[in-house]
Amino acid sequence: MMDTKSIRIMIIDDHPVVRVGLTSMLSTQPGICVVGSASNGREALILLDSITPDVILMDLRMTGMSGLDAIRAINLRPDPPRILVLSSFDTDEDIYQSVGAGAQGYVLKDTPQDQLLEAIQRVYAKKRYFPANIAARLTERMARSNLTPRELQVLQLVAKGLTNKEIGRVFGISDNTARNHVNSIIEKLEVSDRTEAATIAMRQGLVSITD
């Protein structure tokens, strides 16, 4: 019979091997019970109608319904479970967006078992859990002023190497207006030039240079 004081865990990940591995590992831990798993956010929302986990381990990049969308939807429910993101990706933007959506913690999939268990315990205790390196990057990302939608579009083209004149042509604006956008981006990102702005943006996951 399950201990009523056990932490009830749901695992949401689109890789069956990950779900099985986590279930196997966590099921051997005293005080933890895996009560369900799902391959995407949509399946998880259906499952939540019949089970009540305390903590959800949430992957971010899944087909069907992303982790971020699932986090937002789950947090709209009354008395939602706590959510700990368990991801392979550690871009600043992934971390920042997860916290903004309502996650209480963020760890990587290569996190040692003892640290994962600590993260689960802290999130269950209504605290937050971010490893030191992720916490530092989250603080750095949150300290930066948010770019406007147009500035993000301009930054995407800066990252692809377009000049101010070329950016102006893309958006149908003057070279001077394009230059003003670039200067604003440089100021907000607290960098010295457009090259550094592009480098920071790609590292943080703000832009992608893939077509």
What is the C-alpha to C-alpha distance for residues 79 and 66, in angstroms, rounded to an integer? Answer: 21
3: pLDDT strictly greater than 60: no
Q: Tens digits of per-residue pLDDT, 12-52? A: 999 999 999 999 999 999 999 999 999 999 999 999 999 99
Domains of the chain: 7-142 (3.40.50.2300), 149-204 (1.10.10.10)
Phi, psi (rounded to 5 degrees) for 108: -90, 155
Tokens representing 125 are 């205790």
C-alpha span between 70 and 43 (Å, rounded): 10
Which range is least confidently modeled, 7-21, 44-58, 87-101? 87-101
Cα 34 from Cα 51, distance rounded (Å): 11
Give the number of other CB atoms < 10 A from CB of residue 83: 26
* Inter-residue contact 26 to 19 (CB < 8 Å): no
